Structure 1
Amino acid sequence: MEEGHSLYRQSSPSQGQSTTIAIRDHQMSIVEYQGQRVVTLAMIDEVHKRPKGTAKRNFNKNKTTMIDEEDYFLVPHSQKYEIRTFGIEVPSRGLILLTESGYLMLVKSLNDDLAWKVYRQLVKSYFRHAAAPAELSRLELLEMALASEREKIQAIAERDHAISDLEAAKPAVEFFDSYAKADGLMTFRQVAKLLDANEREFRRFLVDQRIMHLLNGEWTPYQPRIKAGYFKVKIGINERNNHTFKQALFTPKGIEWIAGLWRRRMEDPFSARGRA
């Protein structure tokens, strides 16, 4: 079998479980890696009806903006037998598998009517599928139970640590809340909640749009955004340890501005290509 060939199928599917899915007029095989659905670069070329190598070229062009093991996986040749069950050969240099986020970043460059239609169907029917119940062995069930107990212990420890942190940060929180109430300013978390946005996704959006960046361990707006009146940076002193701290707050003008950008981003995922 050739890498990237259209023959993608599992060698031993579970009873009643389909190994392909119809995307437009194309039967695309279901490929999973590390518990999530993924696609190869060749699969993207096929389903988007692009010349062979288009997705690979776009991936190499945008690779520096992607995060390994979050947006894509580089499967080593040593795992060829595992991947071969999907009818895919892993070359000696390894095989690129894209997650949903990696696919979204890559498909931005395919800005046409077909790309829109394929994108919507892939996300809805392929990536965000309802997983079929799997039969688990006793060992797997035991491992799940142990993992659950470890998570409970970790959650209790994190809760206790968070309570301690909240107590230590209470003066700072009260300091910023007083500004927010007086001036109509809002913190990052308050704005994310207002927009009903996932905080991690919203943070990444602000970075991609060159609105905020991490500076000396603190999220800071770019100077032109401050000059435009979208942010105010407040500085205070922690009463407990006399340490100086600062936080960037959205102004009412900035809240209205970012809400418009976020709305356009949600309505049109391809619009995130440009800068605000």
Structure 2
Amino acid sequence: MHNLFVVESRGQRVLTSAQIADCYDTTVDCIRQNFHANRSRFVEGKHYIALTGAELRTFKNEMRISHIDKKQEENEVRIPHSAESKAKYQFNTQFKYAKSLYLWTEKGALLHAKSLNTDKAWQVYDYLVDFYFRAKETLIENNNIQAKHISKKINIANDLPIIQAIQKVQKDLTCMDVLLEKCKTATWESKYNDDKYEVAEIATLITRDLCSLLELKPNIIKEVTY
């Protein structure tokens, strides 16, 4: 397994040339050659981000701080690759004196996979899309879904089927209460046994009517999301 260091620029996840080379099992020179050979197909801002000047200096500082301060597992994505990782350390070595830097977006990684057209490149590209480029996006979407609460307004007083079901259960409970009172004041065994069996029958009836009530769903008047 290979640890892919997370790189972000302009609000999106990107990859360096060295990272793509490691992932696709090729070389940085090959990535550069693909870029120059198909330069007309690569659009800046869509397929790659070119950092220079103040923006590059800011990026270097952010990546250096991220590399030093964050725990390894908090800023890495696991991808199926056996090559030794270089990307994690290049921010403090190769990029330290670089005057410009090309970072590849998800669509840029796709163009490189097309240029290489190897099983390895396509396999890893699919993995990168699901678990690298869109991992943060998926997490945000899930958090947004979890953050939403839906409250449904109902009016049981005007919901006739439910009102009738409730009244039926209330009637059953009243009968049960009367029979239990009879059992408490019984003076003859035969009468006590009769009342006791009637209690059992009413208990069955209550269970049935309660189940019918539980199966009824109230009419939704309004849904409020907050």
Give TM-score, length-normalised by structure 2: 0.44
- The structure with higher relative contact order (CA 8 Å, sep 6+) is 2
In proportion to residue count, which structure has more helix?
2
Give TM-score, length-normalised by structure 1: 0.36
Between structure 1 and structure 2, the one with the greater Rg is: 2
